Amino acid sequence: MLQQRIQSLEEQEHLPSLLSADAQELAHQLQEHQKKIFSPTAQKTMRLFTPAEAAAFIGIGEGYLRQIASEGHGPQPLSNGRRMYAVEDIDRIRHVLDEGAKTGKYIPHRRPGEKLQVISVMNFKGGSGKTTTSAHLSQYLALRGYRVLAVDLDPQASLSALFGHQPELDVGEAETLYGAIRYENPRPIADVVRSTYTTNLHLIPGNLELMEFEHETPKAMIGGSAETLFFARIGEVLSEIESFYDIVVIDCPPQLGFLTMSALCAATSVLITVHPQMLDVMSMSQFLSMTSDLMTVVEKAGGRTSYDWMRYLVTRFEPNDGPQSQMTGFMRAIFGNRMLQNAMVKSTAISDAGVTKQTLYEVERSQFIRGTYDRAMDSLSLVNAEIEEMIRKVWGRK
């Protein structure tokens, strides 16, 4: 009997060893897969944009864009006589237009008296489209001419990977936001900011070291070693570089930890993504209740808990799915104008682009069925334009 028990124990699987071995093998295979998609020397780039897309980003008519390009301010025509616009071309034309008008109309940077906008994108449940929303919103605002800082606060670092920074390979020790907000020997936040292949868009990448903040904060609170309370640390370091940016987009981790609470206290606005299915909405109900309780505690300790706006964004929405439409209507009846008018539709164009770690702004339209791509892009543009309008309203702009 004893021998049987010993044999049974020997046959049991040791979970830590299994997880460690699987993690190492998975990381290795992912790195090999990454090398196949992008060679070690390859760098991500933005695709070229059509005249219609370029004109829309600048905020002018396509005919006016053709006129400006013909005056020598645009790219050279291709062999077929058509012009395609790089992000740098769009930015240069924007500056040419503003130099002539001297109104600041086409370069939408913050003006005196307009405060930095910090948008925390959050949800307690994974799979709600939080990172996809953060990535596309950041790129859209940069393409519109705003100076944008994207902050990856999720230890899984999917946003960093989308922007070409592999957390296992490209992000070293103290090169995440943790390096700037840690309790001992913090780095200047400017040291962890990186440029990206998108003009006007910078990134603070993430990786697993962000979890250290969750582990160290209780010790710092008990020991009284923290000069700045945990919920004020992100806002404090962002203040060091706020003059360089108009908008900060923070991709929060899918949990209510110290990082998320600090991001909420640093935010001027909050965007909560939600997938319109019963289990997701039930989960969000608990998430909202927990967040409210924690924010009340933070408020009593002096944390900021008032925002310019807070909105719910329906993501991965399937218009022809009856239950999803009913759930969306159910939420609209409850939340009213706290719901964005536009929803982000579920699209194979977005999911397929994600396979190669690209956003919809990076992939070529020719890679997809035209209707599929156009529907996804239209939905994306409506959502991002609605958020941009709220930002401009806070600034008092028309």
Q: Residue 330 pLDDT > 80, yes or no? A: yes
Same domain, 248 and 221: yes
Same domain, 151 and 208: yes
- The CA distance from 281 to 53, in Å, is 35
Task: Look over the chain and give the mean of its residue pLDDT values, rounded to a whole number.
Answer: 85
Same domain, 171 and 74: no
Evaluate whether 224 touches 212 at the Cβ level (below 8 Å).
Answer: no
- The per-residue pLDDT for 286 is 78
- CB contact set of 301 (below 8 Å; sequence gap of 6+): 229, 231
Q: Residue 32 pLDDT > 70, yes or no? A: no
Question: Which structural domain range is residue 71 located in?
Answer: 51-100
- CB contact set of 335 (below 8 Å; sequence gap of 6+): 312
In a domain, 5, yes or no: no
Same domain, 251 and 336: yes
* 47 token code pair: 């695709």
- The per-residue pLDDT for 41 is 47
Evaluate whether 193 touches 187 at the Cβ level (below 8 Å).
Answer: no
Last residue of a domain, one of 35, 67, 100: 100
Same domain, 96 and 214: no
* 291 token code pair: 């967040």
Same domain, 198 and 232: yes
- The CA distance from 268 to 208, in Å, is 26
Q: What is the pTM of this model?
A: 0.87
- DSSP annotation of 254 reads S
In a domain, 301, yes or no: yes
Same domain, 195 and 283: yes
Same domain, 268 and 379: yes
| Residue from 334, 261, 288, 335 nearest 123 by CA | 288
* 365 token code pair: 């339209």
Distance of CA 252 to the CA centre of its chain: 9
Evaluate whether 290 touches 254 at the Cβ level (below 8 Å).
Answer: no
- The CA distance from 285 to 282, in Å, is 5
pLDDT tens for 133-176 read: 999 999 999 999 999 999 999 999 999 999 988 888 888 899 99
Number of Cβ within a 10 Å radius of residue 292: 10
Q: Which residue has the tokens 């570089």?
A: 241
Q: What CATH number did the domain enclosing 387 receive?
A: 3.40.50.300
In a domain, 191, yes or no: yes
- The per-residue pLDDT for 40 is 47
Which helix (H) or strand (E) covers residue 331, if one does?
helix 322-335
| Residue from 109, 144, 202 nearest 395 by CA | 109
Evaluate whether 386 touches 313 at the Cβ level (below 8 Å).
Answer: no
- The per-residue pLDDT for 1 is 59
